[in-house]
Amino acid sequence: MKFNLTILFFCFFCLPVVAQELNCNVQINSDQVQGTNKSVFNTLQTSITEFINNRRWTNMTFANTEKIECNMNIIIKSVEGDMFSGEIIVQSRRPVFNSSYTTPLFNFRDQSFTFEYKEFEQLEINNNTLTSNLTAVLAYYCYIIIGYDMDSYARLGGTSAFQSAENIVNMAQSSDWSGWQAFQSNRNRYALVNNLMDETFKKYRNYFYDYHRLGLDEMSANVANARARIASGIPVLRETNRARASAIVISVFMETKTDELISLFSKATDEEKALAVEILSDVNPTQSSRYEGEIYKK
């Protein structure tokens, strides 16, 4: 009997239920900062952890075992008074059905992260007004994480979460905080959510679902068929990338999935290997030698 994961994802009546969606491991790295009271970084880490994990981000109900596992690693490079500058690395993952394997869903390095923080202050966010770049960035990535997770379980399932992230981007347009403005960069927060909400990328988001739900989640039932589904849809990556050159949503997928794709296709048929190497090399030419060497080695 095959279980419908989409239904299972929402049906938690037999498990302890909680409101919060995320189980986020937050780390503050302050190694580059000299001569500052280090206790403030511990307080900041605790405040961010509580802000993310104790808040209800959507109207969905999650069981403890269904919380989304994710990481936020904040690297502080400089501190001037209450102003902190650095970068944030955001990662999320989810379990693959009927296995001990967890697949990475999102891996992104945001190098434009400047915020104000006073030790012991309460971190809050208003749905209608942004008063803090710190909580705006954290909330934005919480919605992105939830959106990616939901897209992997249901076709376009993450749309409402991505819309919430887009609302934050729209409110931040009037600020002077970096990382939010349109056309400021093709790899900033604006660019990422703009891609995710663009009709041009709908085929990619559907493939994201196929890749996880009809591919990885079906590996335990039939490896060859599941891998064939992943292979049959892979041309979408090249098609989308050519429609929007240097699209951040595609580059994020490649950065997140390269190791997994190599592992998947290194055990594929010769035809699937050839297709994978051709398309992956076209989409991500900097890794072409690795695709050829590692996918063809077996």
Measured in Å, how far apart are the chain's first and last C-alpha atoms? 33
In the prediction, which pLDDT does 37 show?
Answer: 81
How many other CB atoms are there within 10 angstroms of residue 206's CB atom?
15
- Please report, for the chain, the start and end positions of each structural domain, with discontinuous segments joined by +: 204-298
Report how many helices (DSSP H) and strands (DSSP E) the chain contains, helices first: 11, 6
Alpha-carbon separation of residue 129 from 57, 64, 173, 192, 269 (angstroms): 16, 31, 12, 21, 53
Cα separation, 180 vs 174, whole angstroms: 9
What pLDDT, on a 0 to 100 scale, did the predictor assign at position 292? Answer: 95
Residue reference for tokens 């190497």 = 277
Strands in 96-155 per DSSP E: 102-116
Phi then psi dihedrals of residue 45, to 5 deg: -60, -45
Own/partner pairs for 270-275, CB < 8 Å, 24+ apart? 272/227, 272/228, 272/231, 275/231, 275/234, 275/235
DSSP 8-state secondary structure symbol assigned to residue 15: S
pLDDT over threshold 60, residue 196:
yes
d(CA 120, CA 212) in angstroms, rounded, equals: 41
- A 10 A CB-CB count for 54 gives 10
Q: Looking at residue 18, what is its pLDDT?
A: 58
Measured distance CA(208)–CA(132) in Å, rounded: 33
Amino acid residing at 150? M
Which residue bears the tokens 């993310």?
A: 52
Read off the pLDDT of each residue in 11-18 and give the average, rounded to a whole number: 47
How would you class 126 by CB atoms within 10 Å of its CB: exposed for 0-12, middle for 13-18, buried for 19 or more?
exposed
Provide the whole-model pTM: 0.92
C-alpha pair distances (Å), 2 with each of 66, 211, 220: 20, 18, 11
Write out the DSSP string of 145-171.
Answer: HHHHHHHHHSTTTTHHHHHHHHHHHHH
Q: Which stretch of DSSP H or E encloses residue 190?
A: helix 189-197
8 A C-beta contact, residue 238 and residue 283? yes
pLDDT digits 0-9 by tens, 106-127? 999 999 999 999 999 999 998 8
Mean pLDDT, rounded, of the chain: 92
pLDDT classification of 45: cutoffs 50, 70, 90: very high
- The whole-number average pLDDT for the span 185-192 is 92
In this predicted model, which residue has the larger pLDDT, 18 or 150? 150
Q: Give the torsion through C-alpha atoms of 112, 123, 104, 172, to 10 deg.
A: -40
- Percent of the chain past pLDDT 90, that is, above it, reads 83
Q: Let me know: does 256 contact 106? Beta carbons within 8 Å.
A: yes
